[in-house]
Chains A and B, each alone.
Chain A
Amino acid sequence: MTAAVRLGVVLLCHGDLGMVARLARIWTDGGARVAIHVDAKVGAARLAGLREALKDCDRIVFTKRHRCSWGRFSLVRATQDAATELLARFPDTTHVYLASGSCLPLRPVRDLVAYLGADPDRDHIESVSSHDVGWTVGGLNEERFTLFFPFDWKKHRWLFDRFVAWQRRWGIRRRMPGGLSPHLGSQWWCLTARTLRAILEDPRRAEFDRFFRLVWIPDESYFQTLVRRHSTRIESWSLTMAKFDHMGRPYLLYDDHIPMLAESRCFVARKVWPGASRLVSHFPLPADGPPQVDPPQPARISRVINQTVRRRVLGRPGLYMQSRFPRKDAENGKTSAPYAVIQGPGDIFHGFEDWLRRHLACDVHGHLLGPEGAEFAGRPHVGPGAISSHPQVRDRDPQGFLTSLIRITDRMQVFQFSPRDNQALNWFMATDPNAHMLVVTGAWKLPLLHSGMPFDDVRRAFAQLQRIELEHLEVLNSVWVRARLHQHDLGEFLMNPKAILRDFMLQIDPHSPPVTAWPAMRDLTGLDGMLRRLRNSGLRPRLTGEDLPPIELLTHERAAAE
C-alpha cells in the first residue's frame, strides 16, 4: 500500500554552487521541493548567480544564512531554519530529506519517493545509542555529551585538546536534559514531516538547543537523539551512502566509481569530488519503466572501502616501502609468507641443498646470508626480483633483502644458515612467526674437521664460530622467540637424523613425497680427537652435546641406513 509522498529536500551548501544548481534541479525535476541553505561565508555575487540559475524553479526556497563551521551547532541551526521554512512554505510536505551540496542522487527521485511511500510513517535516520557506538574517531563517544566543547576543532586544535584534557582531569560531567538519551548517527537523514515538526516545535526546544550548543559535532547527534523522543517507527539506517575513513574523513567519489555506485542501488551517495564531471553527469540514472522500490545494497562498495581502510591502518604484512616503513615490532607481520631456515644439516650431509630441493616444492637456496654472497638456487648473479647476489649490496640492508625476496616469490623460500654467515637477522628471524627454523648446533665443526687447515687456524676459526653460535643461541633461547624453532645439538641430531629431518620437511611442506634416498653423511672420524685436542689447547668446546655418541655407533647406523 503506497500513500502520496510529497518530498522536501534541505540542501546544505557551502562550496561549489554550480554543482548545487545542478543538484537542486535534479531534486525539483523529480518532484521534490527544495530549501537551499548557502553558507554565509559565500559571497553575495556567487549567491546571486545561483539564484539567477534557479529563478525559473518555483519549488525552491533560499533560507536564512548562517556561518557554518564543521562540528559546531551552526550546522544544526541552519538545518532547523531551513526545515522550518520548507515546512512553512510547503505545508503539505510529507517527508524531508537532508542532503548536502555534494550528495548526488544515484537513482531517480521517483524511486526514492516510491520507496518512502511503501512505508510512509517510517523515519529513516541512523540513531545508535552512544553506549554502543564503535565508529566514532578519537575516543569521544559519550564525552561528546558530557564535556563542554566551546572551541573549534579545526581552527583551535590545541585549545580544543587542552580543554578536553582539563575537563577530564577535573572530572567535569554535563547533565543531559531530562528525558533524553544520547544517540549518534549519520548526519544525513530522511524524516517524516510529522516527526520533524514535533522536533522543531518541541516546547522544550530552547533547553535542548542550549545543551547541544556545546556538544561536539551536534549535527551527528541532535536529530538522532531527539528523534527517539518523538518517533517510534525508526529505521536506523541512513538512505545516503556516506563512508568515512579511520580518521573520520569522508571518502570522495570519482568517475571510476560509476559502475560500483550504479550496482549499489543507493538512492544518494556522498561525497562527490567536484571535478568528477562524468560521475555527476551520469547520475541520477534515467527513469524508465515503473519506479523501483528495491532497497540499497551497498555491500560491495562497503567492502572496497573497508579494504582500503585496512590497507591504510594495517598495511600489507612484510612490505617495506616508501610509504610503509614500520618501526621495529610494529610491523604487523615482519614477513609476508612462511619461510624456512636450516642451520646445520648442510654441514652434516654432502649435497644437502640439492637433495632437499628434490624433495620439497619450495625454492631451496644455499647460504643466502653467506660471506661470499647470496647463494640463490642455481647460483645466478641476480636472484628473484632482480635482487643482487653481491654481498655488499645484500649487507647494505639484510632485512630488506630477506623481506623483498619472500614477498616477490610465489613459493616458500628455504635457505641454509650457519655461524659463518651474516648474523644481522638473528633477532628478526627468531621473532618472526613466519620463520620455520631447524637448528643443529655444533654442525659447523664438521667442515672444520675436513678443512685440512693447520691446527692453529682451526682453533681460531673454531673459537670464533663457537662464540657466534653461542650468541645466536642466546637469541633463540630468549622469551621473545616467535619462530617455529626445532633446536638440537649435534649429538642429539646424529642419533636420529632421519626422523628429525622428516618431521621438519613435513612441517614446511606437508605434501612432500616420502624420502627414499638419504644424502650421504660426512665422515665423523676424528671429530672426538679434534675436540680433545682443542680442549687441551685451552678452548672449551661446547654445543656438540655433552655426550656425543661413540662414532662407531653412528657409523654403524649409517651403514645400516645405506
Chain B
Amino acid sequence: MPGLGAHPIMKRLRRRVERQRLIGRAIRRRRALRPLSDRTRQIAPGDILCLVTLRDERIRLPWFLDYYRALGVQHFLMVDNASTDGSADYLRAQPDVSLWWSEGSYKGARFGMDWINWLLLRHGRGHWCLTVDPDEFLVYPHCDRRPLAALTSWLDASGRRSFPAMLLDMYPKGPVEDAICAEGEDPFRVARWFDPANYTIQKNPRYGNLWIQGGPRTRAFFAQDPLSGPALNKIPLVKWHWRYAYVSSTHMLLPRGLNLVYDEDGGEQVSGCLLHAKFLSSFATKSAEELDRRQHYGNSQEYRAYHAGLHRGVQLWCSESREYEGWRQLEDLGLISRGNWA
C-alpha cells in the first residue's frame, strides 16, 4: 500500500514548499542587483514587459530591442551580468529600458532565474511578462498582422495565464564561423534554416510540463547521448502573479497549472516559437569563453560539446533543413498552432 507520501496532496504540498523556497530565494538575492537606470515608474497598467539577463551582447541588442518594440513590448527590464563590451552604457541610453547590474555568479543565481524571479515579483505583477534571452525572438500565430497585445488580450479573454513557445534553433547554410551578423542586422537573414520534424516529447510528471528535445543540437552534438541534449520547451509569456516562480530557466514554472499549456484530449492549444539566433559567427568565441567560465547548466556540458563539434568544423545544415518563411510555415509543420485563435 502506498504511504501518505505518495498521496497527490503531498506532492502538491511539496511543490508549494519548493515554490515558496524559490520566491524566498529570489527575495534574498535581490541585493545582488544594483540598479543602473531604474525607469520602472514609466510602467503603466496593462503594459507588456520583457525581462532579459545578458552578458556581452552589445552587438545583438539594437535589433533585439527593435524587434520586441515592434511587437509591442512597452518596457524592458534587463540584468547585465558584468558585461565588458559596453552593453550597459548602450542600454542605459534607451528610454524604455530599466537596467540592473550584477557582478554575481550566473550559476549561483540559478542561471539568472533568481534575478528574473525577483524582478517579476517586484515589477511584473498583473502584467504579461515575456522572459527571453537576447538571442530568442518570439514568433506566434498571426504575428505578422497582430501585435503582442492582441495575443495577450485574447489569452486574457480565454482565461489563459501562460503561453508556450518552443525554442527553435536557427542555423546558417555552411560553417557557423562564416555566418557573420553585423550590428542591427536581422540574424535570421543569415541563420535562416531549421530542423522541421525531429523533436522528442516527454511529459514531466512532477511539474506537468512537456520536455522537448531534439533539433540540430541533438542531431549534431548529442547523438550518442540524446538525454543530455538541451531542453527546447519554454513558457516565456506569463501573466504574472507574485505567487509564481520560474523553476528552471523558462522551461517550467510553479504553480504547476501554468505548465499545462497543451491539450491532452487531442485538441490543439495556441502556441508559438522562440527563434534561437545562437549559431552565428560569434558563437565559436562565445562557446570557448563560456567553457572557461563554467557558468552554464550541467557544467557547461552543452558548450563543451559545441566547442568540440565546432573545432571539427561541423555544419548544422543538412539537405532536410527547411528555410524559414514565416509563422504559417511553422504552423503547417506542426511546430506551432493557432489553437482557436481565428
Contact = CB atoms under 8 A, between A and B. Distances in A.
Q: Do A and B come from one complex?
A: yes
Interface of A: 243, 245-247, 249, 251-252, 254-256, 273-276, 304-305, 308-309, 311-316, 319-327, 330-333, 380, 382-388, 390, 392-393, 396-397, 400-401, 404-405, 407-408
Contacts of A321: 166, 199, 201, 268, 271, 334-337
Contact of A324 (B214, B227, B337): B337
B72 to A, nearest CB: 9
B212 interface: yes
A115 B305 CA distance: 71
Nearest to A385: B197
A397 B342 CA distance: 32
Contacts of A327: 264-265
A323 B266 contact: no
B298 to A, nearest CB: 17
B197 A405 contact: yes
Contacts of B195: 385-386
A205 B265 CA distance: 46
Contacts of A273: 150, 153-154
A312 B266 contact: no
B146 A322 contact: no
Contacts of B142: 254, 256
A466 to B, nearest CB: 31
Interface stretch (B103-111, B114-122, B218-226, B275-283): B218-226
Q: Counting chain A CB atoms within 10 Å of each CB, which of B214, B269, B270, B340 scores highest?
A: B340
A525 to B, nearest CB: 42
Contact of B266 (A249, A276, A309, A326): A326
A481 B123 CA distance: 56
B318 to A, nearest CB: 5
A332 B267 CA distance: 9
B318 A386 contact: yes
Q: Counting chain A CB atoms within 10 Å of each CB, which of B216, B268, B341 scores highest?
A: B268
Nearest to A404: B197
21 contacts: A246-B340, A249-B158, A252-B153, A252-B154, A311-B338, A315-B266, A321-B335, A322-B164, A324-B266, A325-B203, A325-B263, A326-B265, A330-B264, A382-B319, A386-B196, A386-B318, A390-B224, A393-B198, A396-B213, A396-B227, A408-B196
Given A311-B338, A314-B267, A385 B154 contact: no
Contact of A382 (B267, B320, B339): B320
Given A251-B342, A256-B142, A392-B225, A325 B157 contact: no
Nearest to A154: B159
A390 B84 CA distance: 41
Contacts of A405: 197
Contact of B339 (A252, A323, A333, A401): A323
Nearest to B233: A322
A404 B226 contact: no
A388 B269 CA distance: 28
B82 interface: no
Name the 4 nearest CB pairs between A and B, nearest first: A385-B197, A312-B340, A397-B200, A332-B266
A315 B271 CA distance: 13
A275 B164 CA distance: 23
Interface in B118-154: 142, 145-147, 149-150, 153-154
Interface in B148-203: 149-150, 153-154, 157-158, 164, 166, 195-203
B266 A386 contact: no
Contacts of B223: 388, 390, 392-393
A397 B202 contact: yes
B269 A324 contact: yes
A318 B158 CA distance: 26
Nearest to B223: A390
Contacts of A249: 157-158
A383 B333 CA distance: 16
A313 B153 contact: no
Nearest to A319: B334
B146 A254 contact: yes
Contacts of A322: 164, 166, 201, 210, 212, 233, 261-262, 271, 335-336
A243 B263 CA distance: 22
Nearest to A409: B197
A319 B199 CA distance: 12
A304 B342 contact: yes
B37 interface: no
Contacts of B321: 386
Given A311-B338, A322-B212, A407-B197, A255 B268 contact: no
Contacts of B270: 323
A397 B335 CA distance: 17
Contact of A325 (B201, B333, B341): B201
A324 B164 CA distance: 11
Contacts of B264: 325-327, 330
A323 B263 contact: yes
Interface string B18-45: 0000000000000000000000000000
A309 B340 CA distance: 6
B226 A393 contact: yes
Given A311-B339, A396-B213, A383 B262 contact: no
Nearest to B200: A397
B339 A312 contact: yes
B123 to A, nearest CB: 23
Given A315-B268, A382-B320, A404-B199, 4 more contacts: A323-B269, A386-B195, A393-B223, A407-B197
